[in-house]
Structure 1
Amino acid sequence: MNNETLLYNVSFNEDYIFDRTDVKVIFITLYTIVFVCCFFGNLMVIFVVTFSRRLRSITNFFLANLAVADFCVGIFCVYQTLTNYLMNSWQLGDFLCKVYMFVHALSYTASILILVVVCTERYLAIVHPIKCRSMLTRRRLRMVIGVVWILAAVYASPRFFYVETISNRLNSGDVDIICIANIKKHNKNVLDVVNLVLLYLLPLFLMCCLYTRIAIGLWRSSATLGGPGLVARTKNGRIHHVHTSSRNVLKARRGVIRMLIAVVMMFAVCNLPQQARILWRHWGPNYDHASDFSTLLTVSTFLISYMNSCLNPLLYAFLSRNFRKGMRELLHCRGSRNNGGALAMVCASSDHNRHENGITHVPQNSVVRLNSVQDSLSTTRQTITRHNTLYGKRT
């Protein structure tokens, strides 16, 4: 879903690789599979996060916005790209040509920025929980997402200026139309380099650094919780082993981080062929813009980049237990009559999203300070009972 892979290598000739029926069938089939998975998969993510109580968390709110960007790719980009090549002529008009390129840039930019925001939020929540609690409120994070979409739209808006349809008359007398960026209205070499650095290499480097710090923080916290540690007494006199619940929180956090790292890796891998092709096209001495190979390569790299938009929902389904539960609840909700006679939706809602977001219930009159990573668990006014007192004197 790269935002600047415009169609320079569509050649104005009558011997065209997509005139072959077998090639058409292969790419129509592959693009249709990607479109269906992208459409229904991301629509399911949006609905599950919106209507499932267990998934109402900050991280899942960000992932729902990522699903919106991927959903836009499925609606506005997948078949438009295929149509432009299969028909060897753009038939959707000048305005939809501009919209097509605009959504490419919008979705790609929004996706990478959302991934950076999610990574930053998880880093602050796990490594600097006290700062995170006071600084990253839900209201501010919603504002951040709004700013992300505004920045992505502003960045993509110049496409309405320099993208246009160009007509050319073939030897047969037919008029061929392509949707392309006018090279006289922008410097494509500079723009592609800026896109590669600012919207691919730099964000990925930043996320690698932050996720490495997160992994180190979780590992240290896990080592701290390896011993007997602290326990707390509740109001009714029962002993609450805090380390057990804390280990559950860490286990859930590790699961979320693994899922997020997989999403970032999928983004990097799926967009790498597109970025490599752009570099080769600009600076490769043996790149032939008019060859069948370059045409097939362009359509194939587009397809791989679009696969990123349809694979994200599968990652959530395989790697997030709460997402799977929320999806089952949404699919199996059934209407039933409550005591007052009104129709109510009956769905399981235990656990919600607490463990997945690193929040656990601690007895109200006791609190545990584990280390700097676990400070996020100390959210109520409580008293601390030391390990040697509890284990050495209580029976």
Structure 2
Amino acid sequence: MEGTTDNYTDYEGITMPIGTYSYDEFTINPSNGTMSADQIPEEMLFGIPHIVSIVGYSSLFVISATGNLTVFITLFRNRNDKSRVNMFIMHLSIADLIVTFIMMPLEIGWNSTVKWMAGDAACRILMFLRTFGLYLSSFTLVVISLDRYFAILHPLSLNDADQRGKIMLAFAWLFSVFASFPQVS
């Protein structure tokens, strides 16, 4: 191995520090920037772990889509029932649907191709949505927990509970946006 430098070069999606590896170690063809298959790390090649991930995510996608769409449609049809619990479950269902329809297909596609093929802008947007769904789901669960805490602590303050629930949900959405924003920059 040669000494490392701060200069980097990009060989068709493979970014390597210049001077760290010799051409002999990786057998890089300088004319087209490709590496020989025996030198590429195993996680960069399609194999059994990727097939297991694809099958797992596909199964979870079907189960999650079926369950969360059922909950969402049921609550949406009964939206005249203005209970706080229904509102929280509706927002949790929305968050889980974001995870289901953004993150899971993204992981399936990523494991199928073993590389990112959609470009920088799509990467930033999809990574934002991916983390946004996870944060929103988590923050909504925190809001539900806080609501149950306040319901036990102050059981007779029902007038404040509806307003407090809406405010906490608004903060859950806002905090999710702020927590996911680093994915864009």
TM-score relative to the length of structure 1: 0.34
- Please name the residue that 2:73 is paired with: 47
Q: Which amino acid aligns with 2:70?
A: M
Q: Which amino acid aligns with 2:178?
A: V
Report deviation, 1:142.
Answer: 2.1
- Please name the residue that 1:75 is paired with: 101
Contact between 2:99 and 2:133, CA under 8 Å: does it hold in 1? Answer: yes
Equivalent position to 1:148, from 169, 172, 183: 172
Q: How does 1:47-196 map to 2 (within 5 A)?
A: 47-52=73-78, 56-130=82-156, 132-136=157-161, 138-161=162-185
Q: Which amino acid aligns with 2:66?
A: F
SS in structure 1 at match of 2:73: helix
Q: Which amino acid aligns with 2:166?
A: R
Contact between 2:50 and 2:111, CA under 8 Å: does it hold in 1? Answer: no
Report deviation, 1:34.
Answer: 0.9
Q: Distance in 1 between matches of 2:184 and 2:90?
A: 27
Q: Distance in 2 between matches of 1:53 and 1:99?
A: 31
Report deviation, 1:60.
Answer: 2.1
Contact between 2:58 and 2:108, CA under 8 Å: does it hold in 1? Answer: no
Contact between 1:48 and 1:55, CA under 8 Å: does it hold in 2? Answer: no
- Please name the residue that 1:358 is paired with: none
Structure 1, unmatched stretches of 5+, are: 1-10, 162-395
Q: Which amino acid aligns with 2:165?
A: L
Q: Distance in 2 between matches of 1:46 and 1:61?
A: 11
Q: Distance in 2 between matches of 1:53 and 1:141?
A: 16
Structure whose alpha-carbon radius of gyration is higher: 1
- Please name the residue that 2:46 is paired with: 19
RMSD value, Cα: 2.5
Q: Distance in 1 between matches of 2:41 and 2:73?
A: 46
Q: Distance in 2 between matches of 1:53 and 1:148?
A: 21
Q: How does 1:335-346 map to 2 (within 5 A)?
A: none
Contact between 1:49 and 1:56, CA under 8 Å: does it hold in 2? Answer: no
Q: Which amino acid aligns with 2:46?
A: D
Change in CA separation of 1:126 and 1:55 when aligned onto 2, cut-off 3 Å: farther
Report deviation, 1:30.
Answer: 1.3
Structure 2, unmatched stretches of 5+, are: 1-13, 16-38
Q: How does 1:1-395 map to 2 (within 5 A)?
A: 14-17=40-43, 18-20=45-47, 22-52=48-78, 56-130=82-156, 132-136=157-161, 138-161=162-185
Report deviation, 1:24.
Answer: 3.9
Contact between 1:110 and 1:149, CA under 8 Å: does it hold in 2? Answer: yes
TM-score relative to the length of structure 2: 0.68
| Seq. identity, % | 24
SS in structure 2 at match of 1:90: coil
Report deviation, 1:133.
Answer: 1.8
Q: How many residues align?
A: 148
- The one-character-per-residue Cα deviations of 1:101-147 (angstroms, maximum 9, x if unpaired) are 212321222222211211121222233212x32422x3442233122
Q: Distance in 2 between matches of 1:49 and 1:31?
A: 26
Report deviation, 1:90.
Answer: 0.3
- The one-character-per-residue Cα deviations of 1:147-166 (angstroms, maximum 9, x if unpaired) are 220221122112110xxxxx
- The one-character-per-residue Cα deviations of 1:56-94 (angstroms, maximum 9, x if unpaired) are 421121121111111111111112123223322101221
Contact between 1:77 and 1:104, CA under 8 Å: does it hold in 2? Answer: yes
Q: Which amino acid aligns with 2:173?
A: W
Q: Distance in 2 between matches of 1:112 and 1:31?
A: 20
SS in structure 1 at match of 2:115: coil
- Please name the residue that 1:3 is paired with: none
